[in-house]
């Protein structure tokens, strides 16, 4: 792949020390995100996508979390090995993050204006008065009208959609190169979801942001992301250009996931689903983790873990891929 990627993950493996011994939650994950591009990281709950995001931000408490192997190259530097001080400089300044729950991710004791100004005060050393003009700008940028009045309000006075806009404003105020959005619309109403997606897409173009979008909404990936990485049980099972993966999935899991999406369903037919559940971390034996649920598993699948291999124009980790 190209060397000008802004974020490059190589063989990232993250484990947690638990009472029952160490458990690997993310295994051998690699992907590339060039500047100004959008990558959708997709998977079911518990597949390790949020842990991946939190590991990039180095937000997981250690112990119990531990980066067991791999590198996280951000603009050429390995931030998996960065010190806390170095990470504090990067967070909020060069990498912004939007969380899933706008209702609980804003501090209820601080006014909106103060919270949005926080990154400016942390990274630019601005005082409140200096920051205010920029805060008003950024509020307008994220589509919050009446900005001067909003500054003085507290989070509980805003709706969920507005709060998520505030979260986005906080994440982009320092003009980061990378935005990590961890299920940014999951907690919102459908109509608000569309607005927030539209906003993120607009900002991405406007600021030339690289966006790592973590979601389980395939529709959102189709609309927003040039590339997609499908995670299953801590590993990336398929990755490639979104259009191609959607048109011709190679991994049976991707196929099942796409097939069970209501957008593809045929009228009058029962919506297909993938039987079984994701094996929890720690209960993942040898071989492909999907083998137990896979309709076309081979003997080999249960013994040997498949590596990510080029297939057509994308890559999938499967011994018996879809035709």
Partner 1 sequence: MGDTWKRFRGDRLAMAGLVIIAIFALAAIFAPVIAPYNPSEQFFDGLTLEGSPLPPGWRFWFGTDTNGRDQFSRLLYGAQTSLLIGIVANGIAVAVGTALGLVAGYVRGWTGASIMRLTDLMMAFPPLLLAIALAAILKPGLNIVILVIALVNWVQIARVIYTETVALSERDYIEAARALGAGNGRILLRHLLPHLIPTVIVYATLGIATTVLLEAMLSFLGRGVQPPTPAWGMMIFESQSYFLNAPWLVFIPGAAILILALAFNLVGDGLRDALDPTQRGRG
| Phi and psi, residue 30, nearest 5° | -135, 135
Tell me which of 167, 210, 225, 308 binds partner 1, using CB under 8 A. 167
Considering only residues 133-162, where is the footprint of partner 1 by CB under 8 A? Answer: 154, 156-157
- Nearest approach in angstroms of CB 171 to partner 1 is 8
Whole-angstrom distance, CA of residue 297 vs CA of residue 294: 5
Nearer to partner 1, 106 or 210 (CB): 106
Considering only residues 181-240, where is the footprint of partner 1 by CB under 8 A? Answer: none
Whole-angstrom distance, CA of residue 298 vs CA of residue 136: 59
237-253 CB burial, b ≥16 within 10 A, e <16: bbbbebeebbebbbbbb
- Nearest approach in angstroms of CB 88 to partner 1 is 5
Nearer to partner 1, 16 or 253 (CB): 16
Nearer to partner 1, 75 or 122 (CB): 122
Whole-angstrom distance, CA of residue 55 vs CA of residue 52: 5
Whole-angstrom distance, CA of residue 51 vs CA of residue 98: 14
Strands 235-241, 227-232: pairing kind:
antiparallel
290 binds partner 1 (CB under 8 A): no
The span of 74-82, 119-127, 199-207, 237-245 binding partner 1 (CB under 8 A) equals 119-127
Whole-angstrom distance, CA of residue 78 vs CA of residue 67: 12
Tell me which of 35, 69, 73, 122 binds partner 1, using CB under 8 A. 122
Tell me which of 36, 44, 73, 88 binds partner 1, using CB under 8 A. 88
Q: Which residue is it, tokens 């990755």?
A: 239
Tell me which of 91, 250, 251, 284 binds partner 1, using CB under 8 A. 91
Tell me which of 31, 74, 99, 253 binds partner 1, using CB under 8 A. 99
Describe the crossing of helices 160-172 and 112-123 by its angle, rounded to 10 degrees.
10
Considering only residues 47-66, where is the footprint of partner 1 by CB under 8 A? Answer: 57, 59
The span of 11-19, 82-90, 125-133, 311-319 binding partner 1 (CB under 8 A) equals 82-90
- Nearest approach in angstroms of CB 119 to partner 1 is 5
Token representation of residue 296: 């076309």
- Nearest approach in angstroms of CB 126 to partner 1 is 14
- Nearest approach in angstroms of CB 156 to partner 1 is 5
What is the CA angle 194-200-245, rounded to 5? 80
**In which region does residue 213 sit, left (phi positive, over 0), alpha (psi from -120 to 50) or beta (all else)?**
beta
The span of 42-50, 114-122, 259-267, 272-280 binding partner 1 (CB under 8 A) equals 114-122
The span of 13-21, 92-100, 194-202, 226-234 binding partner 1 (CB under 8 A) equals 92-100
Where would I find the beta strands (DSSP E) of the chain? Answer: 5-18, 21-34, 38-42, 65-74, 77-78, 95-98, 178-182, 210-215, 227-232, 235-241, 309-311, 314-316
Applying CB under 8 A, the residues found at the interface with partner 1 are 57, 59, 88-93, 96-97, 99, 101, 104-111, 118-119, 122-123, 154, 156-157, 167, 170
């Amino acid at each position: 792949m190209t060397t000008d990627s802004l974020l490059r993950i190589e063989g990232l493996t993250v484990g947690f020390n638990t009472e029952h011994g160490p458990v690997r939650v993310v295994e051998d994950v690699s992907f590339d995100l060039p500047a100004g591009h959008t990558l959708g990281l997709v998977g079911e709950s518990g597949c390790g996508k949020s842990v991946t995001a939190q590991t990039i931000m180095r937000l997981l408490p250690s112990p119990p979390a531990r980066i067991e192997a791999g590198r996280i190259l951000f603009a050429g530097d390995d931030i998996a090995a960065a010190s806390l001080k170095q990470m504090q400089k990067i967070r909020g300044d060069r990498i912004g993050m939007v969380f899933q729950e706008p209702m609980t991710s804003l501090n209820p004791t601080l006014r909106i204006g103060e919270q949005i100004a926080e990154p400016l005060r942390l990274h630019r050393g601005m005082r409140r008065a200096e920051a205010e003009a920029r805060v008003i700008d950024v509020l307008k940028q994220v589509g919050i009208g009446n900005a001067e009045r909003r500054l003085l309000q507290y989070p509980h006075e805003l709706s969920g959609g507005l709060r998520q806009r505030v979260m986005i404003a906080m994440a982009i105020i320092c003009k980061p190169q990378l935005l990590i959005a961890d299920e940014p619309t999951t907690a919102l109403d459908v109509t608000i979801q569309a607005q927030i997606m539209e906003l993120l897409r607009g900002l991405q173009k406007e600021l030339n942001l690289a966006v790592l979008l973590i979601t389980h909404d395939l529709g959102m990936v189709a609309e927003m992301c040039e590339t997609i990485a499908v995670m299953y049980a801590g590993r990336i099972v398929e990755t490639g250009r979104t259009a191609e993966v959607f048109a011709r999935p190679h991994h049976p899991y991707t196929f099942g996931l796409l097939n069970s999406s209501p957008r593809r369903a045929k009228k009058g037919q029962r919506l297909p689903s993938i039987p079984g559940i994701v094996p929890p971390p720690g209960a993942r034996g040898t071989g492909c983790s999907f083998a137990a649920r896979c309709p076309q598993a081979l003997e080999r699948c249960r013994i040997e873990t498949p590596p990510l291999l080029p297939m057509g124009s994308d890559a999938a980790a499967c011994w018996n891929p879809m035709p």
